Amino acid sequence: QKEVEQNSGPLSVPEGAIASLNCTYSDRVSQSFFWYRQYSGKSPELIMSIYSNGDKEDGRFTAQLNKASQYVSLLIRDSQPSDSATYLCAVKGSNDYKLSFGAGTTVTVRA
């Protein structure tokens, strides 16, 4: 079983809709969770971090964490063509500073 798994995609949504991305992780003691966005041919950039159960909102992005279910999600509201990218889920365990990444979900927003 992979440490971090994401819905495989690709995910295609119309402009203005909500894109929902899911991520599950296997290490029950993981403490920190991140979403990175990666445009084609570019490097990953951090868009959200979340450490406690519940929701965290930043502009059109909402991260949701449920440690009991070992699940973290990212919602993109009012999706824009500029949101078209691959989104990477990353998880930090409790004992070190390394991150484990999922394979990524590619999102395409249709104008």
Contact positions toward other proteins, by CB under 8 A?
4, 31-32, 34, 42-46, 49, 51, 88, 90, 92, 97-99, 101-104
CB of 82 to other proteins, least distance (A): 19
Which CB sits closer to other proteins, 18 or 103? 103
Amino acid type, 93: G
Instruction: Enumerate helices (H) and strands (E) in the chain, giving the number of each.
Output: 0, 11
Nearest CB to other proteins, comparing residues 24 and 102: 102
Q: 66: which strand partners?
A: 71
Question: What values do phi and psi take at 58, rounded to 5?
Answer: -145, 100
Q: Which residue in 57, 111, 109, 60 sits closest to 83, CA to CA?
A: 109
Question: What's the closest the beta carbon of residue 43 comes to other proteins, in angstroms?
Answer: 4
Q: Output 43 or 69, the one with its CB closest to other proteins.
A: 43
